[in-house]
Amino acid sequence: MTEKTAALTTEKTGALETKGEKSLATRDDTLYIAPPVDIFETDEALTVVADLPGVAMDSVDIRVEDNILTIKGRATYSPKAELLRQEFSLQGYYRQFQLSDEVDQERISAESKNGVLTITLPKAEKSKPKQIKVKIS
């Protein structure tokens, strides 16, 4: 599994446009942070563990498309009082990985606990190591 970088695009229109011309889609102006991940491999599966602090499970978007695993999430914060000055804003998380044919994409599962996302990527049956017994005749 290798990391994959892809440009994000949206249907937003560019700031510069003239009357009567179609504007082109531009790059998404949302800032993202690549969350730190650990990747473990066993005989049965690959496991991706990603730190996504402040992200609720319903704010996480995990997709597999064209053998690319995409992790996307946004942390939320609601102050309990009136905001007088703001010096930081929460960024979204975004990371992509290229998957090999070893992964059984139909059985991928994910769970989140205390801001740690764990994605289990089971290996396909054909890619698991097999012991071949030698018959003595």
Tokens 């740690």 sit at which residue? 116
**pLDDT digits 0-9 by tens, 3-55:** 665 555 444 444 444 445 444 555 566 778 899 999 999 989 999 999 998 88
* Domains of the chain with bracketed CATH: 29-78+88-125 (2.60.40.790)
**pLDDT digits 0-9 by tens, 88-137:** 778 889 999 999 888 999 999 999 888 899 999 999 887 567 777 888 87
User: Model pTM greater than 0.75?
Assistant: no
Q: Tell me which of 106 and 79 has the higher pLDDT.
A: 106
Over the range 91-114, which residues count as b (16 or more CB within 10 Å of their CB) and which as e?
Answer: ebbbbbbebeebbeeeebeeebee
Gap between the Cα atoms of 17 and 31, Å rounded: 24
Q: What are the angstrom distances between the C-alpha of 21 and each of 11, 13, 28? A: 15, 11, 21
